[in-house]
A and B are shown apart, each in its own frame.
Chain A
Amino acid sequence: MRHELALRGNHALLTRANPLAKFAAVMLITIVLALSIDWVSASVALAFELTLLPLAGLTLGLLWQRGWPLILAAALGGWSTTILAPDSGNILVDARIWSISEGSLELGLGFMIRGLAIALPAVLLMSCTDPTDLADALAQKAKLPHRFVLGTLAAMRLVGLMAEEWQTIGMARRARGVGSHGNPLQRLRATLGQSFGLLVQAVRRASRLAVTMEARGFGSAKRTWARTSVFSGLDAWVFLGGLLIAGAAVASALVAGTWNMVFLAQQ
Chain B
Amino acid sequence: MPAFNTSAGGVRPATISARGWGWRHAGRPRPAVSGLDLDIGPGERVLLLGPSGAGKSTLLHALAGVLGDSSAAGGSAAAPADGDDADETGTLLIDGAPPRARRGHAGLMQQDPETQVVLSRLGDDVAFGAENLSVPPADIWPRVAEALDDVGLGRLPLDHPTSALSGGQKQRLALAGILAMRPGLILLDEPTANLDPAGVLEVRDAVGRCLDKTGATLVVVEHRVSVWKDLVDRIVVLQPGSATDSAVLIDGPPDQVLAQARDMLTAAGVWVPGYVPATRARGTRSAGPETAVSPAGQLLLAAEDLAVSRERPRRAGLRGGFRPVPPEPVQSGITAQVRAGEALTITGPNGSGKSTFALTLAGLLAPVSGRVSATLPLSAGAGIDPYRWKAQQLIARIGTVFQEPEHQFVTGRVLDELMFGPRHLGRGEERVDELLERLRLTELVDANPYTLSGGEKRRLSVATVLAAHPRVLVLDEPTFGQDANTWAELASFLSELLDGGTAVVSVTHDAEFSEVLGGTRLSLHAPERRETARETARETGESGRGQPERLVPGKVEAP
1/0 per residue, CB under 8 A from B, across A157-184: the answer is 1001100000111011111111111000
**Which residues of chain A come closer than 8 Å to B420, judged between CB atoms?**
176-177
1/0 per residue, CB under 8 A from B, across A207-250: the answer is 01101111111111011111110000000000000000000000
**Which residues of chain A come closer than 8 Å to B1, judged between CB atoms?**
220
Interface positions, chain B 283-329, Cβ under 8 Å from A, are 310, 317-318
A132 interface contact, C-beta 8 A: yes
Given A179-B392, A216-B178, A4 contacting B120 (CB threshold 8 A) = yes
Closest Cβ neighbor of B115 among chain A residues: A208
Q: How far is the CB of B26 from chain A (nearest CB, A)?
A: 13
**Which residues of chain B come closer than 8 Å to A176, judged between CB atoms?**
391, 395, 408, 410, 420-421, 464-465
Given A177-B395, A222-B134, A223-B132, A212 contacting B110 (CB threshold 8 A) = yes
Q: Is the CB of B118 within 8 A of A215?
A: no
A201 interface contact, C-beta 8 A: yes
- In angstroms, Cα B249 to Cα A160, docked, is 44
A224 contact from B140, B395, B410, B425, Cβ within 8 A = B140
Q: Is the CB of B103 within 8 A of A217?
A: yes
1/0 per residue, CB under 8 A from B, across A22-37: the answer is 0000000000000000
Q: Is the CB of A177 within 8 A of B425?
A: yes
Interface positions, chain B 89-147, Cβ under 8 Å from A, are 103-104, 106-108, 110, 112, 114-121, 124, 127-137, 140-141, 144
Given A157-B120, A223-B131, A4 contacting B407 (CB threshold 8 A) = no
B118 contact from A1, A175, A213, A227, Cβ within 8 A = A213
Q: Is the CB of A4 within 8 A of B144?
A: no
Closest Cβ neighbor of A165 among chain B residues: B407
Closest Cβ neighbor of A180 among chain B residues: B391
Q: Is the CB of B410 within 8 A of A181?
A: no
- In angstroms, Cα B421 to Cα A174, docked, is 11
B48 interface contact, C-beta 8 A: no
Q: Is the CB of B129 within 8 A of A8?
A: no
- In angstroms, Cα B310 to Cα A218, docked, is 35
**Which residues of chain B come closer than 8 Å to A215, judged between CB atoms?**
64-66, 103, 106-108
B435 interface contact, C-beta 8 A: no
Count chain B CB atoms within 10 A of each CB in A212, A226, A227 and give the residue with the most: A226
**Which residues of chain A come closer than 8 Å to B177, judged between CB atoms?**
216
**Which residues of chain B come closer than 8 Å to A160, judged between CB atoms?**
163
- In angstroms, Cα B486 to Cα A169, docked, is 24
Q: How far is the CB of B50 from chain A (nearest CB, A)?
A: 21
Q: Is the CB of B131 within 8 A of A174?
A: no
Q: Is the CB of B110 within 8 A of A208?
A: yes
Q: Is the CB of B364 within 8 A of A157?
A: no
Given A173-B408, A212-B108, A218-B128, A168 contacting B137 (CB threshold 8 A) = no
A64 contact from B159, B178, B318, B365, Cβ within 8 A = B318
Q: Is the CB of B131 within 8 A of A226?
A: yes
- In angstroms, Cα B131 to Cα A213, docked, is 12
Given A4-B163, A215-B65, A226-B144, A172 contacting B103 (CB threshold 8 A) = no
B120 contact from A64, A132, A211, A226, Cβ within 8 A = A132
Closest Cβ neighbor of A205 among chain B residues: B115
Q: How far is the CB of A171 from chain B (nearest CB, A)?
A: 4
Interface positions, chain B 383-419, Cβ under 8 Å from A, are 390-392, 394-395, 399-402, 404, 406-410
Q: Is the CB of B144 within 8 A of A174?
A: no
B450 interface contact, C-beta 8 A: yes
- In angstroms, Cα B394 to Cα A173, docked, is 11
Q: Is the CB of B124 within 8 A of A161?
A: no
Q: How far is the CB of B471 from chain A (nearest CB, A)?
A: 15
Closest Cβ neighbor of B396 among chain A residues: A177
- In angstroms, Cα B133 to Cα A226, docked, is 11
- In angstroms, Cα B3 to Cα A222, docked, is 13
Q: How far is the CB of B180 from chain A (nearest CB, A)?
A: 9
Q: How far is the CB of A84 from chain B (nearest CB, A)?
A: 26
Given A175-B465, A217-B129, A226-B140, A197 contacting B409 (CB threshold 8 A) = yes
A95 interface contact, C-beta 8 A: no
Q: How far is the CB of B464 from chain A (nearest CB, A)?
A: 7
Closest Cβ neighbor of A179 among chain B residues: B391
- In angstroms, Cα B504 to Cα A212, docked, is 38
- In angstroms, Cα B318 to Cα A225, docked, is 45
A119 interface contact, C-beta 8 A: no
**Which residues of chain B come closer than 8 Å to A213, judged between CB atoms?**
118, 128
**Which residues of chain A come closer than 8 Å to B218, judged between CB atoms?**
none
Q: Is the CB of A200 within 8 A of B395?
A: no
**Which residues of chain A come closer than 8 Å to B163, judged between CB atoms?**
1, 4, 157, 160
- In angstroms, Cα B106 to Cα A28, docked, is 47
Q: Is the CB of A177 within 8 A of B117?
A: no
Q: Is the CB of A172 within 8 A of B407?
A: yes
A154 interface contact, C-beta 8 A: yes
Q: How far is the CB of B139 from chain A (nearest CB, A)?
A: 9
**Which residues of chain B come closer than 8 Å to A220, judged between CB atoms?**
1, 103, 132, 134
A153 interface contact, C-beta 8 A: yes
Q: How far is the CB of A197 from chain B (nearest CB, A)?
A: 7
**Which residues of chain A come closer than 8 Å to B134, judged between CB atoms?**
220, 222-224
Q: Is the CB of A214 within 8 A of B66?
A: yes
B161 interface contact, C-beta 8 A: yes
Given A173-B408, A216-B132, A65 contacting B317 (CB threshold 8 A) = yes
Q: B-side interface residues toward A, CB under 8 Å?
A: 1, 61, 64-66, 103-104, 106-108, 110, 112, 114-121, 124, 127-137, 140-141, 144, 159, 161, 163-164, 174, 177-178, 181, 310, 317-318, 359, 362, 364-365, 390-392, 394-395, 399-402, 404, 406-410, 420-421, 424-425, 450, 464-465, 468
A-B contact pairs, 12 of them (CB 8 A): A157-B118, A157-B120, A174-B394, A175-B401, A175-B408, A177-B392, A177-B420, A178-B410, A208-B112, A208-B115, A216-B177, A223-B134
Nearest 8 interchain pairs by C-beta: A179-B391, A216-B129, A217-B132, A217-B104, A172-B407, A208-B115, A175-B400, A215-B108
Known: A172-B404, A175-B394, A179-B392. 11 other contacts (CB 8 A): A130-B121, A161-B114, A167-B310, A171-B359, A171-B400, A181-B390, A197-B406, A197-B407, A201-B407, A211-B108, A216-B181
